[in-house]
Structure 1
Amino acid sequence: MSLDLPDVLSASDVSAWSDEVDVVVVGFGISGGCAALEAARAGARVVLLERAAEYGGTSAMAGGHFYLGGGTAVQRAVGVEDSPEELCKYLMAVTRETDDDTAAKIRAFSGDSVEHFDWIESLGMRFERSFYPEKAVIQPGTQGLMYTGNEKVWPFLEKATPAPRGHKVPQPGDTDGAKIVLDALAARIAETSVDVRYETGATNLVVDGDRVVGIAWRHFEERGVIRAGAVVIAAGGYVGNDDMVREYTPQLGSKLIPLASTYDDGLGIRLGASVGADLRMMDQAFITAPFYPPSKLVTGIVVNKDGKRFVAEDSYHSRTAGFVMDQPDRAAFLIVDSAHIEHPDFPLCPFIDGWETVEEMEAALGIPEGNLVATLGDYNKHAADKQDPDLHKHPDWLEPQDRGPWGAYDLSLGKALYAGFTMGGMRVDLDGRVQRADLSVIDGLYAAGACAVNIAQDGKGYASGTQLAEGSYFGRRTGRRAAGR
């Protein structure tokens, strides 16, 4: 299957332009909003198009983590030592492909991380100066900082000094927290001359030769074409497009809940591809069904249907899920003994049953005879000495699972409640200029956020807050560059 691409319009065929501006931005999520604000602050005349009736998009659905470090005000306030160099080393270690362009992006993001943190707060919100020490998907309260990635997971803890970098907005719970930042961003945009147009979607790019010079739009039955010095696409991913999911990320399929807004249908990516944008990482996705909290469950072992361990259980939840997707039949089980079992308040991985002996559990789960007995026995022997020679699980989470009865949770795809979003998008340079496969730049076209590939490339290396942090950071850079700054 090939992508269903929008037609490209020639400027010579446009009989009348509805507007002529410096920059038009497509999408009012975190990246598009930041691009529009910075472009306007740089003196550009800006139109911001949003298909929905309000701002926010998928960004506003997020819990509100921003992955930032290097010595932010929150880190300093709670006594965490971090540096741009250590942040850079960590991101380089967990990033799937670190070509020269990606390395340059990571260095820039790391070096500017503290300044970017301060800029986010300057919008009109403040992160709480507090630390949440437990292992969780997101802070349950308003705590401002926690570990949200694989910083303390082998081999990454040997490549960079671990530091917590998940900065959460002061909103309890695990959804909609980012709306606080979007509200502040919208308020700052309202103070500028940015022309925000809701319920108005982009339909086609307009070119003059090899240069993008505008975009066609539709507002219900009204249509028009905007001439612009630069077009910035910030229209999200494609998890809502069934055809694209079947083609590129079939692992997301019907057994998974999309973590996205209605408009994450790949339009931005398809607009870029229509004028020759190279698409990267299109087969990569963030997939997760966290089995923690409670964090005590991390002391258990995760095995496949052959009874073999395959991932360190203290890994970030989407890293664990990524390895589950690599297993036969995408099946896995979490095994915990009676001393460590504690049922989650909102279980995403269903509890199967409990058994008096490991042999009974092994048979009930359909694991080949003797395999789970051997795996658990080997794990317990080493865990008693706080060692894990096979997968290097951190000593903080190494505890023997030797007190019966034993219980099992089902981490298998189709049984656990998996959710996710897509990671692929347009190839862009450091300043968001869209590139072709030969790395040449498509003049006049820029992209940021989930429809562009910057730092976040796959689920195994992801950390909560990466998308909001890089979306806002690269959105800012893209807006300035599009404005000619």
Structure 2
Amino acid sequence: MLRESGKLPTETDVLVLGSGIAGHCAALAAAEAGAEVLLLEKSSQPGGSSAIAGGAFVFCGTEEQAAAGQKDSLDALRQDLLESGKNQNNPELIERFLDSQLETYTFLKRHGVKFELHVVPEPAISRAHVTGTGRAITVLHMAVQAEPRIHYASKSPGIRLHRSTRSGRVEGAAVLFGDQETFIQTRGGVILATGGFSRSRELLQTYAPELVSAVKHGGIANTGDGLMMASDLGAGHADLGYVSGSFGGGIRNYPHNEAKADEIPPLLFSFLEGGIMVNKHGVRFVNEGQSYKALSNIGMAQPEGIGFQIFDDRLMQRSHQDTSVNNYREALLAGYIQSSDSIAGLASLMGIDPMVLQRTLDEYNRHAAKGGDPEFGRAINLFPIDQPPYYIAATGNALTSTYGGITTDGDMAVLDWFGAPIEGVFAAGEVVGGFHGAGYYSASSLSSSATFGRIAGVNAAGAMT
């Protein structure tokens, strides 16, 4: 495997492993605090899962919210985070996020990230500040390259953390660089921002065996490196029992599947915007107006674990752009969505009984036109699917992120099983467990990763010996 060539510093103040949103924010914050920083990325390109995510950040109290007349509060955001996490969230991480999220918003804007508020119908509160897929990473990486205190290298994965036999403090890490193992000594600390383990069959088999065959959407280098390195030192674990999929991962050219090992399929949630879902028998099986997380287990229980999303031209005209989520036009061109001028034509494309599918659509449309759904009780985005051409997408459970991992305190210091800090090592991003709890509040991943990355960077710089 080709790796980075040249020279790598053998010592630094702060070593950041992983260059997603958490790693970039950690590196920039540490450098601004006066530290020399070495930022290493395992793959050939920066960004990881952050570069392919939808690009939305949850923030409260922003200029964009004020301009849109949105009334929000930290108490309301706290309630929503805890409700989505079924009150299994780590209170210390929730409070640290709430206290620091607005500073992170300002930090990101100062570094050139531009936000646009995604306004949703009342009574819901509009908090998702969109940037477009990959845009925040692109801007932050330019800031990293312009910062003289930060040295960046790609194709340089961390292998193992090293602990001083005398003090017990983590004093550096072994990394692979140029096909050689190199030890990097740190004066402040190592920050693990290595992402989750959605691409590790072994770790999925251990923590979430039901998702081993799920459509993989996370960063291709997300194989749990940070989780394993920290666990080797006795780090505690949190939320690993709550790893779940998101129903809506595109399956290309179904039924002639052509998935590749490193493929990153689109996320298609047309059912949240007015489409419906049927199984291989051509019948609906759920109230589609639920979150993609809530639909995960229901979708997996269908024949072959596949749900067929069906919508019409009305929804195609609302195709999202510059994002990996609900970009219907791009998915159509790539073979994840197929089209026909008739419902029977859609059925033939997917091997579904055309008479059954037509009957399903006729019944749904008849009730939707009257504003009801007696079969499943759908009440959100309920309208007939009757404007050709029609579209169908075979979708399955997608594993976008694992959102469970090692334990930290509010300063992002990694804790052992007994709750004591493992000196010299910090963590942020998807590798950390505890913030999301037993669920996921939409668009909170990028904002929490950026916030905790910034906190980890400041504290690692402050720990310089």
Q: Same fold (TM over 0.5)?
A: yes
1:214 aligns to 2:202 (yes or no): no
Q: Unaligned regions of 5+ residues in structure 1, if any?
A: 1-17, 128-143
Q: Unaligned regions of 5+ residues in structure 2, if any?
A: 1-8, 251-265, 320-327
Count of matched residue pairs: 421
The DSSP-based 3-state class of the residue aligned with 2:229 is helix
1:476 aligns to 2:460 (yes or no): no
1:98 aligns to 2:83 (yes or no): no
1:124 aligns to 2:112 (yes or no): yes
Match of 1:279 among 237, 240, 250: 237
The DSSP-based 3-state class of the residue aligned with 1:461 is coil
The amino acid that maps onto 2:447 is A
Map residues 23-422 of structure 1 onto 2, 5 A cutoff. 23-52=14-43, 55-63=46-54, 65-95=55-85, 97-99=86-88, 101=90, 103-127=91-115, 144-146=116-118, 161-169=123-131, 175-187=133-145, 190-191=147-148, 193-208=149-164, 210-220=168-178, 221=180, 223-253=182-212, 256-261=215-220, 263-282=221-240, 283-286=243-246, 288-289=248-249, 298-304=273-279, 309-317=284-292, 319-321=294-296, 323-334=298-309, 344-345=328-329, 346-347=331-332, 348-350=336-338, 354=342, 365=352, 377=363, 383-388=368-373, 393-395=378-380, 397-400=381-384, 409=392, 411-413=394-396, 420-422=400-402
Spell out, residue by residue over 1:68-113, the C-alpha distance to the aligned partner (whole angstroms, 9 max, x if none). Answer: 2323112222333322222222222222x53362x33233323433
Distance change in 2, residues 1:176/1:351 (3 Å): same
Distance in 1 separating the partners of 2:343 and 2:10? 70
Distance change in 2, residues 1:91/1:350 (3 Å): farther
Distance in 2 separating the partners of 1:275 and 1:181? 35
Distance in 1 separating the partners of 2:47 and 2:343? 47
Spell out, residue by residue over 1:249-287, the C-alpha distance to the aligned partner (whole angstroms, 9 max, x if none). Answer: 4455456244314x3222111111111123334443445
The DSSP-based 3-state class of the residue aligned with 2:396 is coil
> How far does residue 389 in structure 1 lie from its aligned partner after superposition?
6.8
The DSSP-based 3-state class of the residue aligned with 1:284 is coil
> How far does residue 341 in structure 1 lie from its aligned partner after superposition?
8.9
Distance in 2 separating the partners of 1:320 and 1:427? 28
Distance change in 2, residues 1:407/1:277 (3 Å): same
Spell out, residue by residue over 1:346-373, the C-alpha distance to the aligned partner (whole angstroms, 9 max, x if none). Answer: 34354599557xxx99xx7469x99996
Spell out, residue by residue over 1:443-465, the C-alpha distance to the aligned partner (whole angstroms, 9 max, x if none). Answer: 3221111211243467x6352x4
Distance in 2 separating the partners of 1:339 and 1:99? 40
Distance in 1 separating the partners of 2:236 and 2:338? 41
The DSSP-based 3-state class of the residue aligned with 2:400 is strand
TM-score by length of 1: 0.71
1:443 aligns to 2:426 (yes or no): no
Over the residues paired in the alignment, what is the CA RMSD in angstroms?
A: 4.3
TM-score by length of 2: 0.73
- Could you tell me the percent identity over the aligned residues? 28
Distance in 1 separating the partners of 2:452 and 2:366? 48
Distance change in 2, residues 1:338/1:118 (3 Å): closer
